[in-house]
């Protein structure tokens, strides 16, 4: 998704098992996913800066 409602930029598969626990936040895969999502969400802001 993008910063505007209804703006789908990518479909991202999340290969993390459920239920998810707080310890998951130390998993490298979690960090890769959050970095990728952040780059999609904030791409417009970075271009404007």
Q: Report the predicted TM-score, pTM, of the whole model to 2 decimal places.
A: 0.70
Residue 1's CB: how many other CB atoms inside 10 A?
A: 14
Q: Which residues contact 12 (CB under 8 A, 6 or more apart)?
A: 33, 36, 37
Residue 15 pLDDT? 95
pLDDT of residue 2: 60
Biggest CA pair distance of the chain: 38
CA-angle at 10, arms to 32 and 3, nearest 5°: 90
**2 or 41, greater pLDDT:** 41
Q: Render pLDDT for 26-48 as a digit per residue (tens, 0 to 9).
A: 999 999 999 999 988 888 775 55
């Amino acid at each position: 998704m993008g910063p505007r409602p209804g703006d789908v930029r990518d479909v991202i598969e999340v290969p993390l098992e459920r239920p998810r626990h707080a310890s998951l936040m130390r998993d490298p895969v979690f960090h890769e996913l959050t970095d990728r999502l952040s780059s999609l969400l904030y791409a417009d802001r970075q271009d404007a800066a």
